[in-house]
């Protein structure tokens, strides 16, 4: 059956030039030792087009993982990424793109969602990009641990806080991913798929790319793991199951019954059961684990939130009966509103949120101010860990995930987490460098301790992947408790991708590409559960827009602009005072209209060469009229460029700085390309400031992005 909304979105994207790039292969190499997993993911991108492209991949990642490595293989050259402050890394990447060099950038878009940008991939060329991360197992029993590697995500309800270029998207893509796993557990299995023993003792196999790689390790053993910090200090890391505690549970259990919970569970076991039914089965089992003194209330939510069965119950017996009153799935996913309702109507207690997490409708930092611990059980292969996982981390709670339809095991682990006391992050006294000497945390019912010993080395430190992984994960534990300056220094030192730092590499030895690359989005594979929905004909209609519904409307092309000249320039001194005031008021709307009608991603390559032929007649006429102004002509002559080039650069800068909405990085590239021959770009920044408001820069509040750019240039040697 064809999904008409998905078809409309795909057609609109194709019309806009957003054809997907080709991800031809993916291999994951995992080393699991002492409860710590180090994953090395190699992706091979290929450009099958006749011109250079920029491949953009936005992907879900484990929220607690430490990302610490980036390499790229181009022809026979192996390039290694370096960590830089976030804005500096973006500038390094963009400068390389403008200069025609191949470059790779790994960024954190938000906690739980990262992006890979591969720029100036030559026509017919290929590149292998390898990223590395470290994470611990999550306890699933006495000696059983689980690891999840997200591969895709379903349609997310609500509007993302990300620009369109960074959105999580899915479609046709890679079918299989190859695996190689080395481990020290007694036994290891995949939730889906089989592994075979290779000659060198590693387990090898394949897994579907349209489902998470879920790994269960039986009989894993805690061990003292040794690593080396970037500055040469020794690091000791230990991961062990957290001691079971006997605290009485006081919690509100909040069950997602939105429309997305109708989809079926997958895996080698439990097929044919909807997510919601799997949750009900798990809650029935959870009721049997409760103690007489425990007090749990049961709530359910979609776009509204209410107590199950219309009554707030607290005793174990009443909780068990309330499970059978849970209503069938329907509606959208308003997690933030549901949490606020529970916070407002219950006594201070923990919250156990059971959801597939596919909602942007929650303000993580605001909700964390309530002082409640939030524990999360993620249900379904197409779940999204990002926002809810970040909320759990900030509140002192935790996050768990289910294997197929086995929600009960995840709920049992969550109950054990609820029985633990609220823990305060333990940290040893900081050294003179402000870095900690020790840190301790509990994640996934695992107790993790790290300690730094010794003195910094005077020479470069040689480290293998395990040593780097131990150091990266230990540093990741410490970041939250450090001042921003110290956290940034530690993240750069250990080469981490964080909210403060990104990893970037530039191929200085490779061929230089002409013009700007065409941006292509790399789709995540569509989840295999996407079309398998257990429809409930009696359920009320969905009232919350999903991302696809929003895009289907947003991507509908507006009617063309009337062919009239839209004056884009500041008021002329020759105008009367009234005319100057009227033009000042008209200019922002005229600029918004013009910039909104330019597809900087699709048309950027042509616009970078000052080719206006692909623009609407009214848009091209407005830019030409701007170029005819006396002041523009005089400035362009002084700089030795064509007036059209300067006029188009001003319009591109307007779009790039976000005056008319989200800042458009493709417009920024067009601006840089157009001004490549201008010796002093600071003069353009000043001129642009005058252009925006029509008077001197002293009277103008310059955007923060421009302030940072001028400050960066002032500090440059």
What is the DSSP annotation of 671-687? HHHHTTT-S-HHHHHHH
How far apart CA 116 and CA 58 sit, in angstroms, is 6
Q: Is residue 424 in a domain?
A: no
**Cα dihedral across residues 482, 486, 491, 494: positive or negative:** negative
Q: Is the pLDDT at 498 greater than 90, yes or no?
A: yes
Query: Residue 453: exposed, middle, or buried by beta-carbon count in 10 A (0-12, 13-18, 19+)?
Result: exposed
Please tell me the distance from the alpha carbon of residue 643 to that of residue 575, in angstroms, as a whole number.
Answer: 22
pLDDT of residue 292: 92
Closest to 532 in 3D by CA, of 256, 273, 257: 273
Q: Among 137, 148, 147, 149, which Cα is nearest to 241's?
A: 137
Residues with Cβ within 8 Å of 517's Cβ and at least 6 positions away in sequence, in order, are 51, 52, 53, 54, 97, 119, 120, 121, 605
Q: List the domain range (segments joined by +) for residue 370.
A: 250-418
Q: What is the DSSP letter of 149?
A: E
The predicted structure's pLDDT at residue 446: 93
Please tell me whether residues 282 and 350 are part of one structural domain: yes
361 vs 161: CA distance, rounded Å? 10
Q: Print burial letters for 123-141: b (CB count within 10 Å at least 16), e (below 16).
A: eebbbebbbbbbbbbbbbe
Q: What are phi and psi of 610, to 5 degrees?
A: 65, 30
Q: Which helix (H) or strand (E) holds 23?
A: strand 22-33
Residue 183: band (very low, low, confident or very high) from pLDDT cuts 50, 70, 90:
very high
pLDDT of residue 18 exceeding 60, the answer is no
The values of phi and psi at residue 575, to 5°, are: -75, 155
Classify residue 475 by burial, with Cβ atoms within 10 Å: 0-12, 13-18, 19+: buried
Percent of the chain past pLDDT 90, that is, above it, reads 55
Within this chain, do residues 34 and 146 fall inside the same structural domain, yes or no?
A: yes
The vertex-431 CA angle with 429 and 437, nearest 5°, equals 55
Residue 336 in domain: yes
Task: Give the pair of three-digit tokens for residue 700.
Answer: 């103008």
> How large is the C-alpha radius of gyration of the chain?
27
Same domain, yes or no: 404 and 506:
no
Whole-structure pTM value: 0.86
Sequence-ordered list of residues with C-beta below 8 angstroms from that of 654, at least 6 positions apart, any chain:
591, 595, 660, 667, 692
For CA atoms 468, 474, 480, 481, the dihedral sign is: negative
pLDDT at 544 over 50: no
> CB-hemisphere CA count at 13 Å for 367?
28
Last residue of a domain, one of 509, 525, 541: 525
Same domain, 216 and 264: no
Q: Does 206 lie in the same domain as 105?
A: yes
Least confident residue range of 187-196, 307-316, 619-628: 307-316
Mean pLDDT to the nearest integer, 333-361 = 91
Residue 659 lies in a domain: yes
- What is the mean pLDDT of the segment spanning 497-519? 94
With cut-offs at 50, 70 and 90, classify the pLDDT of residue 679: low
pLDDT digits (tens, 9 = 90+) for 613-635: 999 888 999 899 889 888 888 88
What is the share, in percent, of the chain residues with pLDDT greater than 70?
A: 86
In this structure, the dihedral spanned by the alpha carbons of residues 472, 473, 477 and 480, taken in order and rounded to 10 degrees, is 40
Q: Give the per-residue pLDDT at 535.
A: 45
Quote the tokens at residue 620: 């091209």
Same domain, 179 and 317: no
More confident residue, 103 or 192: 103
Whether residue 686 contacts residue 697, with contact meaning beta carbons closer than 8 Å, is answered with yes
Is a pLDDT exceeding 50 seen at residue 392? yes
The pLDDT-based confidence of 2 (bands split at 50, 70, 90) is very low
pLDDT at 709: 55
> Please, what sign has the CA dihedral across residues 254, 259, 262, 265?
negative
Q: Tell me if 430 is assigned to some domain.
A: no
448 within domain boundaries: no
Domain boundary among 370, 402, 418: 418
Q: Indicate whether 178 and 48 sit together in one domain.
A: yes
Do 330 and 268 reside in the same domain of the chain? Answer: yes
Give the pLDDT of residue 424.
Answer: 53
- pLDDT at position 16: 44
Whether 472 maps to a domain, the answer reads no
Q: Higher-confidence residue: 143 or 680?
A: 143
Q: Say yes or no: 402 and 518 in one domain.
A: no
For residue 324, name the pLDDT band (cuts at 50, 70, 90): very high
Distance CA 246, CA 670 (A): 62
Same domain, 396 and 267: yes
pLDDT for residue 700 = 39
SS3 of residue 486 by DSSP: helix
- For residues 351-368, give the mean pLDDT: 91
- 54-102 residue pLDDT tens: 999 999 999 999 999 999 999 889 999 999 999 999 999 999 999 999 9
H or E element at residue 442: strand 438-443
Name the residue with higher pLDDT: 487 or 480: 487
Q: How much is the average pLDDT of 442-449?
A: 93
Q: How many domains does the chain have?
A: 3
pLDDT for res 429:
53
Instruction: Give the number of other CB atoms < 10 A from CB of residue 638.
Output: 9
pLDDT of residue 383 exceeding 50, the answer is: yes
Residue 351 and residue 392 in one domain: yes
Q: What is the mean pLDDT of residues 411-431?
A: 74
Same domain, 213 and 144: yes
Please check whether residue 289 lies inside any domain of the structure: yes
Give the HSE-up count for residue 198: Cα atoms under 13 Å, Cβ half-sphere. Answer: 10
Give the start-end residues of each E strand in 468-517: 501-506
The size of the chain, in residues, is 717
- Name the most confidently modeled range: 347-351, 484-488, 501-505: 501-505
Q: Which of 418, 444, 460 is the last residue of a domain?
A: 418
Q: Give the model's pLDDT for residue 532.
A: 56
Assigned domain for 361 exists: yes
Task: Decide if pLDDT at 697 tops 90.
Answer: no
State residue 432's pLDDT score.
53
Q: In what order do the strands lie in the sheet with 518-521?
A: 82-85, 501-506, 103-110, 113-121, 53-60, 518-521
Strand ranges (E), 242-315: 250-256, 295-301, 305-307
8-state DSSP, 429: P
What integer is the mean pLDDT of 171-195? 92
User: Between these two residues, 275 and 243, which has the higher pLDDT value?
Assistant: 275
Enter the tokens of residue 451.
């300690």
* Residue 704, pLDDT above cutoff 80: no
CA atoms lying within 13 Å on the CB side of residue 663? 11
At 269, the pLDDT band (50, 70, 90 cuts) reads low
* Residue 181: CATH number of its domain: 2.60.40
pLDDT attached to residue 6: 52
| C-alpha–C-alpha distance, residues 588 and 654, integer Å | 10
The answer on pLDDT for 713 being more than 60 is no
Of the candidates 468, 473, 431, the one whose C-alpha atom is nearest the C-alpha of residue 449 is 473
More confidently predicted of 575 and 287: 287
Give me the sign of the Cα torsion angle 252, 257, 260, 265: positive
As a whole number, the mean pLDDT across the chain is: 85
- 255 in Cβ contact with 308 (< 8 Å): yes
CATH of the domain at 304: 3.40.50.410
Query: What number is the average pLDDT over the span 680-708?
Result: 59
């Amino acid at each position: 059956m064809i999904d008409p909304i998905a078809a409309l979105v795909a057609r609109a994207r194709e019309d806009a030039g957003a054809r997907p790039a080709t991800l031809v292969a993916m291999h994951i190499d995992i080393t699991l030792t002492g409860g710590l997993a180090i994953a090395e993911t190699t992706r091979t991108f290929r450009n099958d087009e006749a011109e250079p492209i920029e491949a953009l991949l936005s992907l879900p990642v484990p929220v607690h993982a430490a990302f610490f490595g980036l390499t790229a293989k181009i022809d026979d050259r192996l390039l290694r990424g370096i960590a830089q402050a976030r804005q500096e890394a973006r500038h390094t990447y963009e400068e390389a793109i403008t200069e025609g060099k191949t470059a790779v950038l790994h960024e954190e878009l938000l906690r739980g969602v990262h992006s890979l940008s591969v720029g100036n991939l030559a026509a017919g060329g290929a590149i292998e990009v390898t990223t590395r991360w470290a994470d611990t197992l999550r306890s699933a029993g006495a000696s059983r641990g689980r690891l999840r590697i997200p591969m895709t995500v379903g349609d997310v309800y609500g509007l993302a806080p990300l620009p369109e270029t960074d959105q999580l998207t899915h479609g046709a893509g890679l079918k299989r991913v190859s695996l190689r796993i080395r481990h020290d557990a007694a036994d290891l299995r995949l939730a889906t798929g089989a592994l075979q023993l290779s000659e060198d003792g590693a387990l090898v196999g394949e897994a579907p790319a349209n489902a998470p790689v879920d790994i269960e390790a039986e009989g894993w053993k805690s061990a003292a793991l040794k690593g080396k910090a970037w500055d040469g200090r020794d690091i000791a890391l230990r991961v062990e199951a957290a001691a079971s505690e006997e605290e009485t549970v006081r919690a509100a259990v909040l069950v997602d019954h939105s429309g997305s919970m109708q989809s079926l569970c997958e895996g080698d076991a439990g097929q044919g059961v909807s997510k919601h039914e799997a949750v009900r089965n798990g809650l029935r089992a959870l009721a049997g684990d409760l103690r007489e003194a425990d007090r749990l209330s049961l709530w359910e939510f979609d776009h509204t939130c209410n107590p199950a069965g219309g009554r707030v119950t607290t005793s174990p017996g009443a909780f068990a009966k309330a499970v059978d009153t849970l209503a069938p799935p329907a509606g959208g996913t308003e997690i933030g509103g549901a949490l606020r309702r529970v916070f407002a109507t219950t006594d201070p207690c923990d919250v156990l949120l059971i959801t597939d997490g596919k909602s942007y409708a929650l303000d993580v930092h605001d909700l964390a101010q309530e002082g409640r611990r939030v524990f999360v059980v993620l249900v379904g292969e197409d779940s999204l860990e990002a926002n809810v996982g970040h909320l759990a981390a900030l509140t002192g709670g935790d996050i768990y995930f289910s294997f197929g339809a086995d929600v009960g095991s995840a709920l049992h682990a969550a109950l054990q987490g609820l029985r633990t006391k609220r823990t305060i992050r333990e940290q040893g006294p900081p050294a003179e460098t402000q870095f900690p000497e020790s840190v301790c945390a509990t994640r996934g019912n695992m107790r993790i301790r790290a300690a730094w010993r010794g003195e910094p080395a005077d020479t470069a430190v040689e480290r293998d992947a395990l040593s780097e992984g131990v150091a990266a994960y230990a540093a990741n534990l410490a970041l939250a408790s450090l001042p921003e300056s110290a956290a940034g220094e530690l993240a750069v030192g250990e080469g981490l991708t964080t909210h403060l730092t990104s990893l970037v590499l530039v191929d200085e030895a490779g061929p230089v590409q002409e013009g700007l690359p065409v941006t292509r989005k790399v789709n995540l594979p569509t989840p295999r559960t996407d079309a398998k929905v257990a429809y409930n004909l009696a359920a009320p209609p969905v009232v919350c827009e999903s991302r696809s519904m929003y895009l289907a409307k947003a991507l509908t092309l507006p009617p063309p602009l009337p062919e009239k000249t839209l004056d884009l320039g500041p008021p002329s001194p020759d105008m009367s005072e009234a005319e100057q005031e009227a033009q000042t008021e008209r200019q922002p709307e005229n600029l918004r209209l013009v910039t909104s009608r330019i597809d900087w991603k699709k048309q950027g390559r042509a616009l970078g060469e000052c080719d206006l032929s692909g623009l609407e007649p009214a848009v091209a006429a407005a830019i030409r009229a701007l170029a005819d102004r006396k002041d523009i002509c005089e400035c362009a002559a002084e700089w030795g460029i064509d007036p059209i080039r300067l006029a188009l650069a001003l319009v591109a800068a307007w779009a790039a700085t976000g005056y008319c909405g989200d800042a458009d990085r493709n417009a920024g590239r067009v601006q840089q390309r157009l001004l490549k021959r201008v010796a002093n770009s600071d003069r353009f920044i000043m001129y642009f400031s005058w252009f925006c408001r029509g008077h001197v820069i002293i009277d103008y509040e310059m955007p923060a992005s421009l302030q940072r750019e001028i400050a960066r240039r002032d500090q440059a040697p």
